[in-house]
Structure 1
Amino acid sequence: MPIPSDFSSPSRMSAKERAYAQIQRWIIDGTLQPKEQLIDAELAEALGVSRTPIREALLLLEVQGLVEVHPGKATIVKDIDKDDILKLYPVFASLHALATEITTSLILPEQIEKLKMLNARFAESIENKQPYQAMEMDEQFHNLIVELSDNLYISSFSTTIQTHIRRFKYVFLKQHETSTYSSVQEHAAIIEAMEQSDPISASAIMKQNLLRPMNELYKLI
């Protein structure tokens, strides 16, 4: 099981949280491949923690559907099912379209400026061929809109679905960089619609922004 040694983890986290965050990232970015066996002793040594927080982290990842735990046998990274793309993205797009419609009526000028800043960083990450950072900037853009909608249910359901989408999204950003520039342009169009207080247009563009990569990614994988 190849584990990189040149990684950094956030400070002020418990051993379980640190293990969970790092293993999740390795699964998302492909360091830990689908169907790969996860050996808790090796993970514990790599992360500098005991085996207990590793096992706790793996149980959390099992709940998320990122790993499969077979007691007494093995724990493996869950395989990617291509058809899940067509199940996840439409629900995710509808949630974010609704959040965008709500937020357009509530957003303040300084929040508009923050969206512009995040989109600029997103574009810069793509230009610099930094797929993971680009994914994070894209997520921050979308998550801010969801947060500003002030709807706990949209936020909660969105977070759950996003966990699975991240694996597909990373493949898309890593292998199909040119198409992601369309997302930058769509983000700019969403911001413009918000500035014009046009919730219907903003919502429609947001939905397109998520359904377009769904179709491209399905063809790619």
Structure 2
Amino acid sequence: MISTFSLGGKTIKKRYQSLKDHVYNHIAKEIQSGTLLPKHKINEVALSEKLEVSRTPVREALIQLASENLLEYFPRKGFIVKEFDTNKKLDVFQVVGVLDALAASLSISHITESDIELMEELVKKIDISISQKNYLDYQKYQNQFHKVYIDKCNNDTLIELLDSLQNSFVRQIYLSKDEEKLFAVLEQMNKHHKQIINYFKKRDKENLEQLIKNEHWKITYIDMI
């Protein structure tokens, strides 16, 4: 089943999730945001109570995550967030960059004026998040920004691959305890978002693809991934 909601005057479709998927996505977002760090033990009881679900979907989600090599299971200890090395993270970013650029390229002829307006609205919200040093809002709005054109690429396999990588437990944005440095970097990322919008307006497929693949997803600050 599909529900709809409105964002910036644009109707967005959203599929209902199973309880297991709900738990799975919650854990992924917690790790993406830095709330759950590598080697953190997952408290099944607390998670069940927080999400108001039974232990069964929690256990199903954790088993799936372990089977995907994203969590580790230790007898008598439980499920632990797996730690990825830097090379693994760089590999994921490289793949995301290529696929995201492809999605943008495929969507360029399908992007409407309302899509452009929505992306511009999200860029403004990102600017506010940066000014307020609100990392969680930055993360939320930048994900929504990319999703506008990814959902218009007319390639379900590509969309599913990018969704899967989004939950790969490798953060798709930088994170650092040095807030000044962090938000200066995120401000530069949002400048890329503005440039992406400009290329969509011009229907400039070549520069759009090059920007996303070779600049936007290029990892310059390895210590912050």
Contact 2:24 2:65 in 1 (8 A): yes
**5, 24, 28: which one pairs with 1:20?**
24
**200, 216, 220: which one pairs with 1:215?**
220
Measured in 1, the distance between the counterparts of 2:39 and 2:169 equals: 18
Contact 1:89 1:165 in 2 (8 A): no
Measured in 1, the distance between the counterparts of 2:167 and 2:177 equals: 16
CA 1:173 to 1:117, structure 2 compared with 1: closer, same or farther past 3 Å?
Answer: farther
**30, 33, 40: which one pairs with 2:37?**
33
Measured in 1, the distance between the counterparts of 2:190 and 2:176 equals: 15
CA 1:62 to 1:210, structure 2 compared with 1: closer, same or farther past 3 Å?
Answer: farther
Give the number of aligned pairs: 208
Kindly report the root-mean-square deviation, in angstroms, between the aligned alpha carbons of the 2 structures: 2.6
1:137 corresponds in structure 2 to: 141
- SS of the aligned residue for 1:86 comes to helix
**109, 128, 137: which one pairs with 2:132?**
128
2:9 corresponds in structure 1 to: none
Instruction: State the TM-score, normalizing by the size of structure 2.
Output: 0.80
Deviates more, 1:41-50 or 1:199-208: 41-50
2:84 corresponds in structure 1 to: 80
Deviates more, 1:62-71 or 1:146-155: 62-71
2:54 corresponds in structure 1 to: 50
Gaps of 5+ in 2: 1-15
Contact 2:93 2:172 in 1 (8 A): no
Measured in 1, the distance between the counterparts of 2:197 and 2:168 equals: 26
1:206 corresponds in structure 2 to: 212
Alignment pair present for 1:188 and 2:194: yes
Q: Give, in angstroms, the shift of residue 57 of structure 1.
A: 2.1
Contact 1:183 1:209 in 2 (8 A): no
Measured in 1, the distance between the counterparts of 2:143 and 2:69 equals: 20
Q: Give, as a single letter, the amino acid of the residue that structure 2 aligns with 1:84.
A: K
2:96 corresponds in structure 1 to: 92
CA 1:124 to 1:15, structure 2 compared with 1: closer, same or farther past 3 Å?
Answer: same
Measured in 1, the distance between the counterparts of 2:81 and 2:207 equals: 40
Q: Give, in angstroms, the shift of residue 171 of structure 1.
A: 2.0
Deviations 1:127-149 (A, max 9, x none): 11111211111111111111111
Q: Give, in angstroms, the shift of residue 178 of structure 1.
A: 0.7
Instruction: State the TM-score, normalizing by the size of structure 1.
Output: 0.81
Contact 1:132 1:170 in 2 (8 A): no
Q: Give, as a single letter, the amino acid of the residue that structure 2 aligns with 1:211.
A: W
Q: Give, in angstroms, the shift of residue 62 of structure 1.
A: 2.2
- Whose strand proportion is higher, 1 or 2? 2
Q: Give, in angstroms, the shift of residue 23 of structure 1.
A: 3.0
- Whose helix proportion is higher, 1 or 2? 1
Q: Give, as a single letter, the amino acid of the residue that structure 2 aligns with 1:171.
A: L
CA 1:139 to 1:166, structure 2 compared with 1: closer, same or farther past 3 Å?
Answer: farther
Identity %: 28
- SS of the aligned residue for 1:164 comes to coil
Gaps of 5+ in 1: 1-11
CA 1:53 to 1:170, structure 2 compared with 1: closer, same or farther past 3 Å?
Answer: farther
